[in-house]
Structure 1
Amino acid sequence: MPPLSLYIHIPWCIQKCPYCDFNSHAIKSDTPESAYITALLNDLAVDIQRYNITRPISSIFIGGGTPSLFSPESINRLLRGIEQQLALKDGLEITLEANPGTFESQKFAEFRALGINRLSIGIQSFNDPLLKKLGRVHSAQEAIHAAEIAHQSGFDNFNLDLMFGLPGAGLDSSKIDIETAINLKPSHISFYQLTLEPNTWFHKFPPKLPDDETIFNTQKQCQQILADYGYRQYEVSAYSQPGLQCRHNLNYWQFGDYLGIGAGAHGKISQGLPQAIIRSFKPKSPEQYLNNSHQHGGADAIAVSELPLEFIMNHLRLKQGFTLDAYQARTGLAIATLEPALSACVKQNLLIRQHNHYYCSEQGWNFLDNILEQFIP
């Protein structure tokens, strides 16, 4: 069986950003923090029984929303409750998502003392006018201060999120963002393009974005700066110092398993290969989740015919690609089920083959959708 991770969704944030398509809701003064922790632990207990979980957890990721809005007391109750229900691997990675507007020195020192050993901080930009366009509630100075507090609180492993292709932005502003982030010495930087996702304010009222040539040039030049400072790209939008990749996200991209608890959370559990690889989902509404009116969501088996695409779609986000042994181990399918698409991609110079190892060529990396469409059943 593949490694098993745990994703926990806390859906509240200070306000909903116009580009955000995640399951997030503006926090209210009466947000039921304690009741939500209880619901999470109950949800976990149901999943453990439903999927007969005996494997240890290799990573935990608390995402949102803005989980750092919750108190250290609540996060402590959550982590201790998880420990009572699941075996945890020694040295497991525990990540907490945070936004700069929620940073207080004492609070984050307490998070670190609880066992959280990695932060993912939603900066997006160090440019105040751009932050305003993005609907962010923090300033550039608060973003810098957040990284400083992370260091002071004992976090030597944290990620900074940055976006490019922003309304009114160009190469120069993105280079300043990247250089500012590097100077703050995070272990990891996520650098991704703004996209106008359905069901967002920006999709309904699209802002004017830079042209494709500017966006592509910005990406390439900023990637070079990151590489020059030792941030190695290992995934489509992820760059890290050596050995400090996000282990939780690596498990996603390597088609590993993960429990998903919380409003709108998704999971993937391998109960039998290839017919019983299960995708689970929880009700998106925090009210429904708290009331358990949907009986902790639902689950569906991934159709066997869709497994080649599912595997390829995840693994090819990684620079290292995949091996045929990994394909067989994670899907239970014969290598022949990747054909004729696999050979066609090699012939078209979209994929490079070295023995039984496949990874994207430079052309394939830039046109990943062209690869994936060949694996659509």
Structure 2
Amino acid sequence: MIPIKPVGNDTPAPRSAADPAQAALAFLKPGSLQLTALPPLSLYVHFPWCVKKCPYCDFNSHEVKGSFPEQEYLDALRADLESALPLIWGRKIYSIFIGGGTPSLLSAGGLDRLLSDIRTLLPLDGAVEITMEANPGTFEAEKFRSYRASGINRLSIGIQSFNTEHLKALGRIHDGDQARKAIDIAHANFDNFNLDLMYALPSQSVAQARQDIQTAIDFAPPHLSLYHLTLEPNTLFAKYPPAVPDDDTSADMQDMIAELTGAAGYQHYEVSAYARPQRQARHNLNYWQFGDYLGIGAGAHSKLSFPHRIVRQARYKHPQTYMEHMRAGNAIQEEGEIGRAALGFEFMLNALRLNDGVPVNLFAERTGLSLNFIEDSLNAAENKGMLYRDHKLLRPTELGRRFLNDLQEMFLSE
């Protein structure tokens, strides 16, 4: 963490005098927060294209129509990063995540250029974790060797299932054999990778879910992300809902996952995350511990802390619109300060996802507020048996983890 100097102006400077939203933010009076140190800073890079839009996906992704403007987009990313430098000057980057979309559509040369631009503009921690999302069906052994040589040291592979029929139901472009081949290529080139799988899939039985999870475990990945399929608004699945397992069957799947991952030596450290010792996702831990992140690329979001305020930003979502605005000098569509009333909830919304919780003093360190600010909600959660706390630790109980949404909502009233 970076100690904060007692003097100086932490107000984000506007990138364009013609942008009234930026200018207004620049002249806000200092807030009443008192951050004594800035949190770790991560970088998120969004790649907005994919081969095919999946019917369950609500991410900012767009189907490639023949080709995509790789060089033009890389130009925009570099300009975006350059324009953000005054907001993060002197701060080191502890993790980088290249997400999408399907970033593994980038050419080997394109990815190398992206990482070179980042290294040129930003100081990186010596142990920086650089993760790239990749989907089976886009795996080419030579290209992934080049990705590794360029500096990617962790892959996150979107397997979702090994069952070809379930993959078809999910609209995935790969089959079970391609999923296995992708993991073999990852094993050959990376010593750190994550497998993304989903359960409670359309028409999936507990036995089929068990086979998926056991197959993933047999590959011995350092990290597993296991997500319950949700029918998100504004997706094809929301409009035409498939037949999915009922709540009792989903609960049986969750019990099965706990059994298999525990027996295989994985620590269930976050709602959907399981890791071998010392293999937790550094980038995602920073989110859950209410760290800072700079997001560049179409639709990317940022959370940046200053001595007396915490600011959020959002870039324009559509790739073409983003690139046009970036050429004009400013791709930020929305920017604003997180108010005191929202900080307690936002911190707890993230921290309560961690099964082992967070240190008590992290609340004041990351929000600039006293823990007394959420005292009533803490007491209420304790009285319901959903939260454990002592002088060192805040963490959800087993009951709190089971009814996590209810526990998180208790902090909305603050």
Query: Which residue matches 1:251?
Result: 286
Give the corresponding residue for 1:344. 380
Query: Alpha-carbon deviation of 1:354?
Result: 3.1
1:327 partner amino acid? F
What is the RMSD of the two structures over their aligned residues, measured on CA atoms?
A: 1.0
Partner residue, 2:249: 214
Deviation sequence 1:87-140 (CA, Å, 0-9, x none): 001020000000010011101011011110000000000001100000000000
Partner Cα separation in structure 2 for residue 291 and residue 127 of structure 1: 41
Q: Which residue of 1 aligns with 2:127?
A: 91
TM-score (structure 1 length as normaliser): 0.97
Matches within 5 A, 1:228-239: 228-239=263-274
Matched, 1:318 2:354: yes
Q: Show the counterpart of 2:40.
A: 3
Partner AA of 1:227 in structure 2: G
Distance 1:168 1:126 in 2: 15
| Residue number among 73, 76, 84 corresponding to 1:36 in the alignment | 73
Matches within 5 A, 1:196-345: 196-273=231-308, 276-292=309-325, 295-297=330-332, 298-345=334-381
Query: For residues 170 and 363 of structure 1, what CA distance do their matches in structure 2 show?
Result: 26
Equivalent residue for 2:151?
115
SS at match of 1:233: strand
Corresponding residue for residue 371 of structure 1: 407
Instruction: Tell me how many residue pairs correspond in the alignment.
Output: 373
Do structure 1's residue 14 and structure 2's residue 55 form an aligned pair? Answer: no
Identity of aligned residues (%): 50
Unaligned runs of at least 5 residues, structure 1 = none
SS at match of 1:102: coil
Q: For 2:58 and 2:110, locate their aligned partners in 1 and report how far apart those are by CA, in whole Å.
A: 26
Quick one: distance in 2 between partners of 1:230 and 1:280?
39
Aligned residue identity for 1:4: L
Provide the secondary structure at the position in 1 that maps to 2:89: coil
Which residue of 60, 74, 79 corresponds with 1:23?
60
Structure 2 letter corresponding to 1:292? H
The superposition leaves residues 128-169 of structure 1 with CA deviations (integer Å, 9 ceiling, x where unpaired) of 11000000000000000000001112x010000010111100
| Alpha-carbon separation, structure 1, partners of 2:174 and 2:290 | 35
Change (3 A) 1:115 1:373: same
* Structure 2: runs of 5+ lacking an equivalent: 1-37
Q: What corresponds to 2:165 in structure 1?
A: 129
Q: How far 1:264 sits from its partner (Å)?
A: 0.6
TM-score normalised over the length of structure 2: 0.89
For 2:378 and 2:179, locate their aligned partners in 1 and report how far apart those are by CA, in whole Å.
44
Whole-Å Cα distance in 2 between the matches of residues 118 and 191 of structure 1? 17
In the TM superposition, what are the counterparts of 1:134-153 in structure 2 within 5 Å? Answer: 134-153=170-189
Deviation at 1:215, TM superposition (A): 0.1
Answer yes or no: is 1:166 the counterpart of 2:206.
no
- Residue type of the alignment partner of 1:46: S
3-state SS of the aligned residue for 2:407?
Answer: helix
Instruction: Indicate the SS of the match to 1:100.
Output: coil
Cα offset, 1:28, TM superposition: 2.1
Q: Offset of 1:290 from its aligned partner?
A: 1.0
